[in-house]
């Protein structure tokens, strides 16, 4: 059971970076970026390929740069070619399939057997014992979260936040919303690429289909975290995505361990949770309206 909890914590920190990226694109910029699935595989492919070549540390910034490039393409389609945000993400995601195959040497998967990764090198230090991978994954995620919060507090970061709130107001303030959208999507996809890079080195493998459903999992983590921690300042948002990711992975691990839900049905359950969580405000409004309606009818009957 302890091993299950440790694995859930490790994966929770690693995939929290995807939820952090969706927090920036979906919550801050108010853009549904569907580049996530392909970008995650891109980061994983670049990281594993460079690690196999003997550059595990260089693989991390390279994967982030590759993710930022994917975000730039999506932003270019939106801002310069007038492609709707959802379609722009789909187009980029489709093209990334071939790019990911190229990054892995035209192979569907790439392994790191007997290769040093940042995890094996950190494990050699002996710090933390069995908790060594969790400390490294948590340190990377916390550092990324701190840097993201600090960035969103800068002048450029405030412009990105304002763009998500009201683009017309930003445009009237002599700020180019196309530029802020581009920067925001580049940063978001760099975080997704970082997540793929860390996961790839932790699992010592990259697979062309490893990113399927990542955007749904990231949204689930984001929504679960916001339900627990709440929405508000950027710092609270960063804490929410990490907490949501860890809780999601813990629940996921417990479900697998206890076999309450068949493994083949977990994706469907995740999709249902995300759909209900997104629809929660509308459901609450509908329920409140029905409650007021019943009270009004009861009051009229009482008057008679």
Spans of all domains in the chain:
1-210
For residue 82, give the 3-state DSSP assignment: coil
Q: What is the DSSP letter of 207?
A: E
pTM value surpassing 0.85 = yes
% of the chain exceeding 70 in pLDDT: 98
Tell me the sheet residues that pair with 111.
Answer: 205
Identify the CA nearest to 221 among candidates 235, 239, 196. 239
| Tens digits of residue pLDDT in 18-27 | 999 999 998 8
pLDDT at 251 exceeding the cut of 90: no
| Cβ count within 10 A of residue 80 | 10
For residue 53, give the 3-state DSSP assignment: coil
**Exposure string (b/e) for 53-62, b if CB count within 10 Å is 16 or more?**
eeebeebbeb
pLDDT at 270 exceeding the cut of 80: no
Q: What is the mean pLDDT of residues 154-168?
A: 90
C-alpha torsion sign, points 250, 41, 91, 149? positive
CA distance 8 to 163: 35
CB 214 within 8 A of CB 40: yes
pLDDT band at 211 (very low <50, low <70, confident <90, very high): confident
Tell me the sheet residues that pair with 207.
Answer: 109
Q: What is the mean pLDDT of residues 113-135?
A: 87
Q: Which of 49-53, 65-69, 295-299 has the lowest mean pLDDT?
A: 295-299
C-alpha torsion sign, points 112, 115, 118, 123? positive
| Cβ count within 10 A of residue 302 | 7
In sequence order, the 6+-apart residues with CB closer than 8 A to the CB of 134 are: 6, 9, 10, 13, 128
CA distance 118 to 99: 24
CB 14 within 8 A of CB 141: yes
């Amino acid at each position: 059971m302890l091993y299950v909890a440790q694995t859930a914590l490790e994966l929770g920190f690693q995939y929290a970076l995807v939820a952090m990226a969706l927090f920036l694109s979906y919550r801050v910029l108010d853009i549904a970026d569907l580049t996530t699935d392909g970008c995650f595989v891109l980061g994983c492919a670049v990281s594993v390929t460079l690690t196999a070549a003997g550059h595990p540390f260089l693989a991390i910034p390279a994967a982030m740069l590759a993710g930022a490039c994917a975000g730039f393409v999506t932003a270019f389609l939106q801002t310069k070619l007038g492609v709707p945000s959802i379609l722009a993400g789909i187009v980029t995601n489709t093209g990334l399939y071939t790019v990911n195959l190229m990054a892995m040497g035209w192979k569907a998967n790439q392994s790191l057997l007997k290769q040093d990764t940042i995890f094996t090198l950190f494990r050699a230090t002996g710090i933390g014992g069995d908790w060594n991978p969790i400390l490294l994954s948590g340190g990377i995620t916390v550092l990324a979260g701190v840097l993201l919060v600090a960035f969103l507090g800068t002048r450029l970061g405030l412009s990105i936040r304002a763009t998500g709130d009201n683009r017309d107001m930003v445009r009237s303030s002599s700020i180019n919303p196309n530029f802020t959208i581009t920067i925001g999507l580049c940063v978001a996809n760099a975080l997704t690429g970082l997540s793929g890079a860390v996961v790839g080195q932790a699992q010592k493998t990259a697979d062309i289909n490893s990113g399927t459903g990542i955007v749904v999992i990231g949204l689930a983590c984001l929504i679960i975290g916001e339900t627990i921690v709440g929405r508000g300042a950027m710092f609270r948002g960063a804490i929410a995505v990490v907490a949501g990711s860890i809780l999601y992975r813990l629940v996921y691990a417990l479900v697998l361990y206890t076999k309450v839900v068949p493994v083949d049905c977990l994706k469907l359950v995740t999709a249902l949770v995300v759909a209900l969580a997104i629809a929660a405000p509308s459901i609450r409004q509908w329920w409140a309206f029905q409650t007021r309606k019943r009270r009004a009818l009861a009051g009229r009957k009482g008057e008679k």
